Structure 1
Amino acid sequence: MLPEDDLKIITEKMGREPNLVEQGCFLNLWSEHCSYRSSAPLLKTFTTTGDKVIIGPGDDAAIISFGNGWVLAIGMESHNHPSYVDPYNGAATGVGGIVRDIISMGARPIALMDPLYFGPLNNPKNLYLFEHIIEGIAGYGNCIGVPVVRGEAFFDESYSGNPLVNVVAVGLAREENVVTACSQKAGNKLVLMGSTTGRDGLGGASFASRDLSEDSEAEDRPSIQIGDPFTEKLVIEATLEAIGKGYVKSCRDLGAAGLAGASSEMAAKGNLGMKIIADNVILRESGMTPYEILIAESQERMLLEVEPENVDAVLDIAKKYDLNGSMIGELTEELNYTVQFQGEIAADIPVKLLTEGAPTFERPSTAPDERDIGDKPELPADLKQAIIDVLSSHNVASKRWIYRQYDHEVQVRTVTKPGDDAGILRIDGNEGIALSCGCNPRHTLLDPYSGGKGTVVENAMNLAVKGARGIAIVDCLNFGNPERPDIYWQFKHAILGLGDAARDLSIPVVGGNVSLYNESGEFKTAIVPTPSIGLAGYIKDVTKAPAGVFSNEGDTIILVGSTADELGGSEYYNIIGKKNDGKAPQVPENITAVVDALISLAESGKITASHDVSLGGIAVALAEMCEKTGAEVDLSNVAEGLRTDDILFSESYARALITTSEPDAVMEMIGEVPCTVIGTVGGNTLSIQIEDSKTELALEEIKEARESLMNLMME
């Protein structure tokens, strides 16, 4: 049912009380998921324009200029609530939905990324969700032939009962083939093409805007869409063929709020109205009401604006690909959204009221009491075991079990495989893109503003160590109930931090998604604040991207950046039971200089390997680089006055490890950016010296620790 305040506004604006069909349209289109009621004022603080931005926020996906007539389409979405209720189909349709956003812009999808967040796997329900969500992403992405080139899997108790499934999709198109969701001309017809319309996904948008309860699995299963990747593959080809032949004037994916959402938003964007003939929608089930036809979120459907003389040609394309297709309405000069069913008017709504009339507002926010950072823990008695414990934690251990489920080489563009700092794809000659995604939710919990900034910085560093510069950010802002002032304060300050870091690095925020009400009635808790992003960057020459592991014996190892006493939110503190203690990392003022230096070094060809230092600190970064060969390092001069565990496990931002056979030339290129020579590549162990303390790990010990998650999944 519509909230009382909303019903009052709508009744006043329409001059009458809306009927049940109209109420269903408003309930979904005015939901938090569709209308960004709590977030719109905050999202306006982002810088969304730039030299390469052709289309920014507001369409199905953003369009970014790549060069030489090529453009990239990029979007990011969440499918959190559905993935708890039905993990396989929730995750699969999350992939399908974001891919159709890319297609609707006239672009062919070329890459996926999947930042995922789960409760600990020692809980059987969490393990079930984890396995089936991965299976859903793999099952859908592999079938449609789009590689998953990068991802994240982060584990925290707060995600028990409310996992997060975020998906980034990237597409490629010629600029002249780009279409938008903005309707063009009254009298043009609307063609619905793809799968049939059934009752699956009813009320999905409104469902995504409320808390999950203990009974969600039974109560909300009708709100979960069922995906069919084989139909999706046909929809990709049919839509791109129709666009390529010039038949499509505007296009919209049927996602949240179903036909009602796609058609009304398309009309409103072009300052036109729309008349829908619901009888013409091809149904999967008999006896469907106009309410169900409009609101159902059945998958694999596209809405196309077509000139009258081209309707038959588009329907022929649908038939060629064995898809359903029908003409279901037309655009009108009158700014009303009208639905006809069995000769009666089922709905007649001012279209702008439906799509733009939901009140938006900043909610009350309350900062928490000043946090006690706690006392320093005792130094670990066994440093080697402490390193192994961090390496084998769910968050740090290799995610190979996950990404080996995915086809990451289909389309033969993939240069760098999953498991590295960034995914790299070849686009035009040796020019390419680098992709990174994710965030550190625990940093954001302790300090939302710095955590928001750090989200951008860590992803930018993942690109920089490969020689790529960020050109566009999409976000998925996952938070708890915004009606709680403490949660809204987290949300607000994370957005402000994210926006400031994006401006510092001159990277526009071009689109994304807000997912609120991520709380579980079962566990009585909100998720930790999770401002996940996807970052796309430009790389001049993909063949020059440095390796992510030690490769050349005798090379000098250099630490770039400064290390501070910033163990707050670290994986080390989480393991030893001090999760909420310590100083949270702060983004250094020289971040732009660090990023610029790393990009220049990678482009110069003077470094043989490079790796970002982030989760788990220097100890983890060194261990991850010891895949083929060992190293002997001395960290005594990394930072004055820091304890051994600070040096090993601090997660200070804007740091990287690089190797080179030309240390003097590299140090000169680094210039004023802080850097320290810490050792040499070679040997069969990782030897770490700090003052009079020496720790050695055999390569086999490192491998065994890093494979802990893999071994768990194979038990």
Structure 2
Amino acid sequence: MRETFFGLREEEYLQIKDALGREPNDIELRLFSVMWSEHCSYKSTKDLLALFPTEGKHVLQGPGENAGIVNIGSGFGIAFKMESHNHPSAIEPVQGAATGVGGIIRDVLAVGARPIASMDCLFLGPPSDERSNFLREGVIKGIANYANCTSVPTVGGLTYYDPCYRENPLVNAMCAGLVKLDKVISSGASKPGNVLVLLGSKTGRDGVAGAAFASTQLDDAVKESKPQVQVGDPFAGKVLIECTLEILDKGLIVSMQDMGAAGITSSAVELAAKAGAGAEIYLDNVPLREKDMEPFEIALSESQERMLLAIEEENFDEVKALADKWNLECEIIGKIITEDKYVLKDKGEIVANVPASLLTSSPKIEWPKREPVKVEVKYPKDETIMLERGDLSRLANILYSLPQFEDKSWIYEQFDYTAQSRTMLGPGNPVAILYIKEIDELVALAVASDPWRCAVDPFAGGAETVARAIRKLAVAGSYPLGMTDCLNFPSPEIPENFWSISEVVKGMAAACRELDCPIVSGNVSLYNESPKCAILPTPAVCAVGAFDGKTFLKSNDPDVSDKLFLAGKDGQLQASAYQRIFEGKLTGPVELLDFDAERAFCERAIKTATLQAASSGRCVGHGGLIITLMRMTAKAELGCKIKGADEKLLFGEGGPRALYSVPEAKTEDFLKIWKGYPIREIGTVINNKGIHLI
């Protein structure tokens, strides 16, 4: 029996040995180690992901491709996907975050789309903690450096803080691209005889086996993992985008893959396996940045800014000429073959030869599940916060002063969110809105997450996460076309954790079905923990929406004397920011979503925006109504008077609720729209800044 399995479980090694009918060599085992890693294979969550609805009237392409695509009409689609770069960002925050942005841009590029917008969801430790603040500054710098240099605008996102992310920050990057439907590239379109062309940068040792590294717990020996963090070159990334799109425009690409996790191996094997074929790789032909690289290093390097193209061999000279024009490396490094084999050749010698289909057929793992007897997440209470329960104004000011709810403009002002001149509504708003000038239409993007609700009631938390993104779209005036997700969890090997993972996914799937918003792409990131702490269950989503017209409702433009209306019932204090900060704990359960109420809310919200029956509108989300009030009025340098306030009204969270500011002249029309739905007048917009409770 072997002593080294390169991260494979012993039973997986035995399965490989049995399938091959022989002992695999070290290079072959390394290939399986990466391709069967959690990061590449989703072996723990395959069955759960099958619960998601993936088809719909707007869906052109769903999961299984580099990015999902929804049809926006007139021959165009939006390609989009969300990915994680959590472990790399915990070790090298600048490069970890930068290469996360670069990787998701290339995923969108790989389906033939021009990247037109990016968003990021960041989950970080308290900024008062020295290491957490170091990670925060590095992550934000990495995102800004890469996105700005590639001219892909960062149009929105979210930043949440919690002690559970101190050792293991989460960096989830989303990219959206615009694609002509007759130019969509499928990863399964290649065929035997096509040559495989490496386009882009040279290959180095950075990121070797990075996928396997991303599939394990972060431990105290993280410094040893630094070589497994990729190094990005955003300027090369920008050139690669333009060169690839020019080659695509000339009709020279049969299929293509981003060289992300597992590098050449995953790209070539996935192209071959989806075509029902195999692939042969000539490692001698790969342009190298470093000398004396081992065959497995070349095959598994995750060096950035590289694409693998499958083309007709007679078109290579034309492709090469275009690459030379853009000063990019371009070499034939292999070919698609008829046999179901993945063959690596080095100096004329075969150093690995395994079935291509076997590399993409990792065994599923069904971890044991156990529902916790009681879920209560405790937080250290801040003894400096001495409160009387009735002092609502002071409670509100303390909450709003926390980093969780700070003005995030210092973050997004580091991003170029106006590049490409499409951004109609950018960072600082609940949604981003882009103008698709090619067809004179608008699209909206909305991200959402609620790890605290997922922690105490995972089914309800998963459903709330999905619903929250769709509500944001609706209040802006948009209906959903589809959604992408990034599912961040700790180890699935602990029964209580796997139960939580399962319940979150079930809740998300139920909300997607009920609210007609299919999941078209996504990512799973497990083992987000260190010996000191595991993260809360943290699904993040991004919904893409369309408009029936050319109007949308802004979120930060109330006028003096506008009436303030709350659409919806009171929220709950369980699992809220209020409970976390002032009680030092999170408890559940929370109320399950009423999907009839959700649909009724969205229908009325879209109508309100379409008819411009309000000055401003914002969903009530994290932090409750008080945070929503402050955000709506602060941008306009105004304030408000609120009557009849209590803790549940101001600080409750969850469920379909929105705050509207409505001029006197539009009040009657507004109330007609919301007839039959819980609606109440709660106050007035005034010149005097701040929230004044009366």
TM-score (norm 1): 0.92
**Match for residue 370 of structure 2?**
366
| Aligned match of 1:641 | none
Question: Distance between the aligned counterparts of 1:678 and 1:55, measured in 2?
Answer: 44
Q: How does 1:372-451 map to 2 (within 5 A)?
A: 380-428=389-437, 430-451=440-461
Question: Contact 1:48–1:509 at 8 Å: present in 2 too?
Answer: yes
User: Which piece of structure 1 moves more, 570-579 or 623-632?
Assistant: 623-632
Whether the 8 Å contact between 1:567 and 1:583 is mirrored in structure 2 is: no
Matching residue within 8, 11, 15 for 1:9? 15
- In structure 1, runs of 5+ residues without a counterpart are 639-643, 695-715
Structure 1 match to 2:382: none
1:711 maps to: none
Aligned ranges 1:341-360 → 2 under 5 Å? 341-356=346-361, 358-360=362-364
Distance 1:200 1:601 in 2: 52
SS at match of 2:404: coil
The aligned residue for residue 342 of structure 2 is 337
- 1:547 equivalent in alignment to 2:554: yes
The answer on whether the counterparts of 1:201 and 1:224 sit within 8 Å (CA) in structure 2 is yes
Partner of 1:312: 317
Q: Deviations over 1:126-173 (max 9, x none)?
A: 000000000000000000000001111110000011000000000001
Query: Could you tell me how far 1:380 is from its partner in structure 2?
Result: 2.3
**C-alpha offsets along residues 345-386 of structure 1, whole Å, 9 cap, x if unaligned?**
011111111112x11132111101134799xx9852532211
In 2: Cα distance, 1:242 partner to 1:591 partner: 45
1:295, 1:623 → 2: CA distance?
A: 50
Counterpart selection for 1:187 from 183, 193, 210: 193
CA contact (8 A) 1:480 1:519 kept: yes
Counterpart-to-counterpart distance in 2, 1:87 and 1:60: 25
Kindly state the Cα deviation for residue 582 of structure 1 after the two structures are TM-superposed: 5.6
CA-atom RMSD, angstroms? 1.6
Distance (whole Å) between structure 1 residues aligned to residue 689 and residue 237 of structure 2: 49
Q: How does 1:109-258 map to 2 (within 5 A)?
A: 109-216=115-222, 218-258=223-263
Contact 1:433 1:539 in 2 (8 A): yes
Contact (CA 8 Å) 1:339, 1:346: kept in 2 or not? yes
| Counterpart position of 1:108 | 114
Residue in 1 aligned with 2:576? 570
Q: Distance in 1 between matches of 2:599 and 2:436?
A: 26
Whether contact under 8 Å (2:576, 2:586) holds in the other structure is: no
Q: d(CA) in 1 for partners of 2:591 and 2:218?
A: 32
- The superposition leaves residues 484-503 of structure 1 with CA deviations (integer Å, 9 ceiling, x where unpaired) of 00111110000000111111
**Alignment partner of 1:671 is 2:683:** no
Superimposed CA distance per residue, residues 530-551 of structure 1 (whole angstroms, 9 cap, x where no aligned partner): 0111111112344x22221243
**Paired position in structure 2 for 1:535:** 543
Partner of 1:465 in structure 2? Answer: 475
Tell me the distance in 2 between the aligned counterparts of 1:647 and 1:378.
18
SS at 1:251's partner residue?
strand
Q: Which stretch of the first structure deviates more once superposed, 577-586 or 133-142? A: 577-586
Report the CA distance between 1:39 and its aligned residue.
Answer: 0.3
Give the Cα–Cα distance (whole angstroms) in 2 for the partners of residues 550 and 191 of structure 1. Answer: 52
Which range moved further: 289-298 or 574-583? 574-583
CA contact (8 A) 2:190 2:271 kept: no
Q: Give the residue type in structure 1 aligned to 2:653.
A: E
The correspondence for 2:293, drawn from 288, 291, 299, is 288
Question: Structure 2: 5+ residue runs without aligned partners?
Answer: 1-5, 379-385
User: 3-state SS of the aligned residue for 1:120?
Assistant: coil
SS in 2 for 1:88: helix
1:513 pairs with one of 511, 520, 523: 523
CA distance in 1, matches of 2:144, 2:74: 33
1:45 aligned onto 2:51: yes
- The 3 A distance-change label for structure 1 pair 406 and 687 is closer
Deviations 1:48-97 (A, max 9, x none): 00111111001111111110011111011000000011000000000000
- Partner of residue 701, structure 1: none
Paired residue for 1:649, among 641, 648, 651?
A: 651
Alpha-carbon distance, 1:271 to partner:
0.4
Q: Does 1:35 align with 2:41?
A: yes
Q: Quick check: 41-50 or 438-447, which moved more?
A: 438-447
SS at match of 1:299: coil
Distance 2:341 2:376 in 1: 56
- Is contact 1:430–1:540 with CA below 8 Å preserved after alignment? no
Residue aligned with 1:444, SS: helix
Matched, 1:558 2:565: yes
* Partner of residue 381, structure 2: none
Q: 2:150 is aligned with what amino acid?
A: I
Kept in 2, the 8 Å contact 1:631–1:679? The answer is no
Tell me how far apart the structure 1 counterparts of residues 493 and 331 of structure 2 sit (CA, whole Å).
42
- The number of equivalent residue pairs is 676
Matches within 5 A, 1:588-667: 588-589=594-595, 590-627=597-634, 628-636=636-644, 644-661=646-663, 662-667=666-671
Give the secondary structure class of the aligned counterpart of 2:405: coil
The whole-number CA distance in structure 2 between the counterparts of 1:320 and 1:261 is: 28
Q: 2:275 and 2:574 mapped to 1: Cα distance?
A: 49
- Deviation of residue 419 (structure 1)? 0.6
Q: Distance in 2 between matches of 1:26 and 1:632?
A: 61
Q: Does the 8 Å CA contact 1:443/1:585 hold for their aligned counterparts? A: no
Q: Which residue of 2 aligns with 1:680?
A: 684
**Counterpart of 1:626 in 2: which secondary structure?**
helix
Q: Distance in 2 between matches of 1:552 and 1:412?
A: 28
Residues 372 and 156 (structure 1), Cα distance of their counterparts in 2 relative to 1, 3 Å cut? closer
Secondary structure of the 1:172 match is: strand
| Equivalent residue letter for 1:93 | T
